[in-house]
Amino acid sequence: MSKIIKIGTRDSELALWQAKTVQKLLENLGYKTELVPVKSTGDIVLDKPLYELGITGIFTKTLDIALLNHNIDIAVHSLKDVPTILPKSIKQVAVLKRGNVNDTLVFKNNEEFLSAKEAIVATGSLRRRAQWLNRYPTHTIVDLRGNVNSRLQKLKDNNWNGAIFAAAGIGRIGIRPDESINLDWMIPAPAQGAIMIAAHQDNDFAIEACTQLNHEETKICTTIEREFLNKLEGGCTAPIGALARIKDDEVTFKGVLLSKDGSKKIEVKSVQKLGRHQGIAEYASNYIIERGGKRLMDYIKSEGKKTNVYSTKSLTEDQRLLFNENVKAESSDFIKTNPNRIHNHIVKEEIQNVIITSKNAVDALLTNFSSEELRFKNIYCVGRRTKRLVENKIGKVKHSEKNAKALAKYLVEFIDGTEVTYFCSNLRLDDLPTVLEENHIRVHEVEAYQTKFDAVELDDTVDSVMFYSPSTVQSYKQKNDKDVIAFCIGETTAKEARKHFKKVKIAKVPTVESVIELVNEHYI
């Protein structure tokens, strides 16, 4: 065993302690070793919270490069800092027996502040922040960065009530203060308290040496936790906790996902026999996702992004989930409608031909009359959703088209009779009545509802807008001058949009979902 195993490590006190532990174990097996300390980005950049740096594997990247360049033989990490997917050619070769998994509160004076309405607690961990605020929503959390010693010093120097640390970290280097308690209620980070050894896949000598140090029980538990994290697509930018334990041949798993402010929390627990535990992570992650986890993760990922798309109609939560990751969309109703009073004499007798082009017209009719009072012989509609609503609430639709222009063309050729009643808005931008009048079909316009512009002034980051009617375009122009990309629900809307915007795109079918699909195709 004349070959020397070069052990790569960060140069913080805790990282060196971990590397020296591995060094001692290898030397007890008869191997020669050498420590190779390096600095990581996570150690250098101390003025921002970790979750704002946006670097995957912030504490492991430098050591990964050293492994790939064969400058070191193995790298020693806190496993909780390691990305769930390792770089190509690097593999996990051992996990040491796990230490204390808990988070620890180090406090000043006493613990009485825990029952106080106002208190200040420090942590640089998004997960700890979220779980603390979930339990103590009126407390204030301040950011805390640096190595363990510098963080303890900052606690002394500042007017804080306490700070949260990993129990394993302060315990391993022997600096845990007496004024501290384990937070048994707080679910730790996946793989917290575990030390991992990585090596290049071609380094057979190092792999053979380190495999002997592997602790199988710790490996099983941390693998479940990290798989859970991976399936939720989480990292240092999401508040995710996970803990697996083995006792009496059973694997017990607890997992949690929270919003960054701690106001929302989704938990899961699962118990399986050892040997039948392989599906725990998938079950637990699916459980979280099905109970709002996907929506919560999407919201977390979108936080901090600038809005680039705005919808002139309020979107449902299900519709928001349809946008791809490159889109940060916001929405509000640029058009407000109120039903008008419709006189009884208008529907006193059966009407031969009726045109209904929107949900608002349906709502207005049903506000004034019962469905039994609306005796319409031939009903003509615009849009599939309007047709479906009419047939559910009023009566059978004789014919529908995707836009007003197409409906006008149809009626010119196929209408029964020479008159039609059109239930419309006070703001009507389509050409349907004009086309019909030009073809000797008399149109009785009934102002069924009032439409009011209610646009908001958009941020400069918005470079595209979703429009659903000509009036939403006009409403936008009342408050905004920017030449955006106009994503339109149909040709009638696009016709109005072309008067104001250079780039206009039309959805394949006249639905909100189709407009979203159009947006996704543009920002892919």
Q: Class assignment of domain 305-334+454-523?
A: alpha beta
What residue spans define the domains of the chain?
1-96+191-214, 103-182, 215-303, 305-334+454-523, 336-453
CATH T-level assignment (fold) for domain 1-96+191-214 = D-Maltodextrin-Binding Protein; domain 2 (3.40.190)
Strand order in the sheet with 335-339: 335-339, 442-453, 419-425, 351-356, 376-382, 399-401
**pLDDT of amino acid 55:** 35
Q: Please state the rounded mean pLDDT for residues 468-479.
A: 94
Q: Give how far the C-alpha of residue 345 lies from the chain's centroid of Cα atoms, to the nearest Å.
A: 53
Q: What mean pLDDT value characterizes the chain?
A: 90
Strand order in the sheet with 4-10: 32-38, 4-10, 74-78, 195-200, 90-95
- What CATH number was assigned to the domain covering residues 336-453? 3.40.50.10090
Same fold, 1-96+191-214 and 336-453: no
Residue type, 411: L
pLDDT in tens, 356-367: 998 999 999 999
**pLDDT of amino acid 407:** 94
pLDDT in tens, 115-166: 999 999 999 899 999 999 999 999 999 998 888 888 999 999 999 999 999 9
Helices (H), 247-293: 280-288
**pLDDT of amino acid 47:** 53
Alpha-carbon dihedral sign for residues 220, 222, 223, 225: positive
Pairing mode, if any, of strands 250-258 and 120-122? unpaired
CATH T-level assignment (fold) for domain 215-303 = Double Stranded RNA Binding Domain (3.30.160)
The single residue listed with the structure tokens 């190092």 is 206
Nearest residue to 57 via CA among 41, 34, 70: 41
Task: Specify whether the CB–CB gap between 344 and 374 falls below 8 A.
Answer: no
Q: Which residues are catalytic?
A: 81
What is the C-alpha separation between 160 and 413, in angstroms, rounded?
A: 80
What is the C-alpha separation between 123 and 164, in angstroms, rounded?
A: 6
Q: Which CATH architecture has domain 103-182?
A: 3-Layer(aba) Sandwich (3.40)
User: For the chain, what percent of residues have pLDDT higher than 90?
Assistant: 71
Q: Has residue 232 got a pLDDT over 80? A: yes
What is the C-alpha separation between 304 and 207, in angstroms, rounded?
A: 42
Nearest residue to 243 via CA among 192, 185, 299, 313: 192
Provide the token pair at 20.
Answer: 């020296």
**pLDDT of amino acid 22:** 97
pLDDT in tens, 175-212: 999 999 999 999 999 999 999 999 999 999 999 999 99
Q: Please state the rounded mean pLDDT for residues 378-386.
A: 92
Distances (CA, A) of 381 to 390, 399, 404, 417, 506: 8, 7, 9, 17, 20
